[in-house]
């Protein structure tokens, strides 16, 4: 694992954007695995800026998002589909047909999950996977448990995650209880992984991911088994790392 501690959120975001941009410059038809949430917002802003300045071109890029809430349509403002278009896709030139986000509103969600993994495989896998991390160590929506799922699957969100994510909804009762998430092997099969964390509320999760025992009870700790992981954190998120 390569750990880089940046001065603050802005510097972390700029660094993350430069890693994504380098990937796309070196391999214009990269398959990017993308995350939502608060953490990568600054990275998307910077990437949009770099695109507007002609420093990076996404016309051949294919994207696969990590997850989506079950029951929220693409046009629901809290869906991850809406987030991605609102914060990134509307402002850059990733072709619409190259954008993949699992749909959480189909009748047969098992088939959605199967088709999603098949498509990732058909495209030759993910070149660079961006991840955030939950306070409980989740990545994607692979929640701490005594077992983890390998493939894309429907997951019951745990109370801590529902509580954390309620900040985006009018009330905690509006937060969906289930999501579709890439599984651990879809994530671990990516050629490269870029994990971002900012703020002291993530310090414990980062410490355990880097120095803790490798356990399904802290899914991010499994990243220790991957050969090409870069972790970018700001000073607050790094404060428990010795």
Residues tagged active-site: 67, 136, 138, 143
Please report how close the Cβ of residue 39 comes to ligand F6R at its closest, in angstroms. 3
Beta bridge partners of 68: 180
CA distance to 1, 109, 114, 152, per residue, from 4 (Å): 10, 38, 35, 29
Q: Is 139 one of the binding residues for ligand F6R (CB under 6 A)?
A: yes
Q: Is 153 one of the binding residues for ligand F6R (CB under 6 A)?
A: no
Q: Is 38 one of the binding residues for ligand F6R (CB under 6 A)?
A: yes
Q: In the bound complex, which residue of the shown chain has the CB atom lying closest to ligand F6R?
A: 132
DSSP-assigned letters across all residues of 39-70: TTHHHHHHHHHHHHTTS---TT-EEEESEEET
Dist. CA 38–CA 55, nearest whole Å: 24
> Burial, 103: exposed, middle or buried (Cβ in 10 Å; 0-12, 13-18, 19+)?
middle
Please report how close the Cβ of residue 182 comes to ligand F6R at its closest, in angstroms. 8
Nearer to ligand F6R, 25 or 85 (CB): 85
User: Which residue from 134, 137, 144, 176 is in contact with ligand F6R, where contact means CB under 6 A?
Assistant: 134
User: Which residue from 16, 35, 187, 232 is in contact with ligand F6R, where contact means CB under 6 A?
Assistant: 35
Q: Is 163 one of the binding residues for ligand F6R (CB under 6 A)?
A: no
CB burial of 164-197 (b: ≥16 within 10 Å; e: otherwise) equals: bbeeeeeeeeebbeebbbbbbebbbbbbbbbbbb
User: Which residue from 13, 30, 31, 36 is in contact with ligand F6R, where contact means CB under 6 A?
Assistant: 36
Of 7-15, 44-52, 85-93, 136-144, the window that binds ligand F6R (rule: CB under 6 A) is: 136-144
Residues 6+ apart with CB under 8 A from 23: 30, 32, 127, 128, 192
User: Which residue from 138, 149, 153, 218 is in contact with ligand F6R, where contact means CB under 6 A?
Assistant: 138
The Cα angle at residue 158 between residues 135 and 84, in degrees rounded to 5: 70
Residues 6+ apart with CB under 8 A from 192: 23, 127, 128, 129, 228, 229, 230
Q: Is 37 one of the binding residues for ligand F6R (CB under 6 A)?
A: yes
Dist. CA 36–CA 66, nearest whole Å: 8
Q: Is 43 one of the binding residues for ligand F6R (CB under 6 A)?
A: no
User: Which residue from 42, 140, 144, 176 is in contact with ligand F6R, where contact means CB under 6 A?
Assistant: 140
Of 17-25, 37-45, 212-220, 223-231, the window that binds ligand F6R (rule: CB under 6 A) is: 37-45
> Residue 184 corresponds to which tokens in the numbers above?
């651990």
Q: Is 176 one of the binding residues for ligand F6R (CB under 6 A)?
A: no
Please report how close the Cβ of residue 208 comes to ligand F6R at its closest, in angstroms. 15
Q: Is 67 one of the binding residues for ligand F6R (CB under 6 A)?
A: yes
Point out which residues bind ligand F6R (CB under 6 A).
35-39, 66-67, 132-134, 138-141
């Amino acid at each position: 694992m390569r750990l880089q501690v940046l001065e603050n959120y802005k510097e972390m975001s700029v660094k993350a954007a430069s890693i994504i941009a380098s990937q796309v410059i070196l391999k214009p038809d990269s398959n990017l695995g993308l995350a939502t949430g608060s953490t990568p917002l600054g990275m998307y802003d910077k990437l949009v800026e770099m695109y507007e300045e002609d420093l990076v071109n996404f016309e051949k890029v294919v994207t696969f998002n990590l997850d989506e809430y079950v029951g929220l349509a693409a046009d629901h403002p809290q869906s991850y589909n809406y987030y991605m278009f609102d914060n990134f896709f509307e402002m850059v030139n990733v072709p619409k047909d190259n954008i993949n986000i699992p749909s959480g509103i189909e009748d047969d969600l098992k088939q959605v999950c199967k088709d999603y993994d098949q498509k990732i495989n058909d495209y030759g896998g993910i070149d660079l996977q961006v991840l955030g991390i939950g306070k409980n160590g989740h990545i994607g929506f692979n929640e701490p448990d005594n077992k983890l799922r390998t493939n894309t699957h429907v997951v019951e969100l745990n109370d801590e995650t529902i509580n954390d994510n309620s900040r985006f909804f009018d009330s905690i009762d509006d937060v969906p209880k289930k999501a579709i998430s890439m599984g651990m092997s879809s994530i671990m099969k990516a050629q490269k992984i870029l994990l971002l964390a900012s703020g002291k509320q993530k310090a414990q999760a980062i410490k355990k991911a880097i120095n803790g025992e490798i356990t399904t009870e802290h899914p991010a700790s499994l990243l220790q088994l991957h050969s090409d992981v870069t972790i970018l954190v700001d000073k607050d998120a790094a404060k428990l790392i010795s």
